[in-house]
Chain A
């Protein structure tokens, strides 16, 4: 695609402004099923992956803005053709879309702002071709198997996704930005046998670098898989619940495609603007605090953080660390340039647009994780993974099945599986204690465990 030609056509289109977002690079994916099984037959080793996939990334998205009668509209399209006729039709379509909208006007970002450097590229990924990545993935799989150190542990599958691309943004206001990045995701399922029963645990490891994939975690997940063979459905419980591992990360910084939390909903500037956020600047995030108060920072500068970046691809806003909740009180909202203008100085908090939610940084607390697990006469329920953590982001209501966890009661510990964790996200934070041990995982940095004193588990 000739970007100069596209700029010329966009500039002559009659639109008030334009923006061109580009992405160039490559993807690779490897879907490995080490053995195939069917009851009554011998397992068969598969010598090669099911599918090896190489992708070429080369995309352009054009946005046109139109001001009309004190109103404003914008329309964006991913360009799939390259001919002049195609581009002319696309521009006409976008203009028609932009002119049909009656939104309040806002000012587009001007050039000349400064941007931080952010480390989000893995030289190892960049330097390897498809065959080289195939070799690296094979080594990764062997390390995962070796980490389990138990012949009863098997990998059901390993799916590896690698992306190596450069994103860019050009606008009619002179903004010209470009940023390379890499990303790797490893989704896998561990099987473990116990007295003829097979248990599983599925997990995804994510990072910007191959070296961030902590294959040692396979050992932990293999234990969860084995415990799943005899884990019991929990008994009804009302009291302390500790979230750790994937359950904790899902609670604060879900990394799946469905990822959203009540915090990201109510800290979203567009929801403040539309009246569908209950948060206000200077107000607490819950009615009272009987435990430690939460501090939450959106941090785009974390080295090799999954959501680290120098600028927002939406509009070029420089990404900066911003404290959204400070010691339990709301101090800022997430804003694009458009929403920043709409909210005005009284409602928006920080003195600059923040861009979207970046990595989630939660302040640690006073006690080490092991002290948060103390049962102190009544049982403590520990949740390590949910089947799917999908709270109602508006009300904060949570009804989530426990996929993996344990009950600690005095010196007794036993695994649990099933039952529903029931409570309210905001009310849970009224009496919470954050561990003093920090962990970093994907887009999360914060305590390794959080103890909520008043939650329910519905079980037997």
Chain B
């Protein structure tokens, strides 16, 4: 008795192909709300950031990643209003509580660069969940040297985070060295 030939069924299976979504679409906002876990945004934030950086793309993506774009508009009470800097926030979700990471970035900073910073935070918190978003209402506080692109030090004035979100870190993006400095208040 002759063994059945798999050629035809295998050929048919080879033809059964599905259109894969774009990488960034996997975590589009409407999809992240479906399974609203910060990690879904977080780790892939790093992936997307690396992708963007690898591709040399600057602000060239669409969708949820736009949330990373620093807010260039002034709002009432915004201490950064009129300066070249604005603030992005990174929430690090430790198992039971959320830690805020504030990153001071230059307005108009490319998404890729901000993504790099976020990726670095993600690397440092590999076991945690990281999500990046912008603070709409910055708390009042000094915006002096130490933040405005100069190297940070222990005495650098820190923006006061919302009390409910302590403890926190402040990361200052150092334009001079293209590094990220971390201070613990």
Query: Real complex partners, A and B?
Result: no
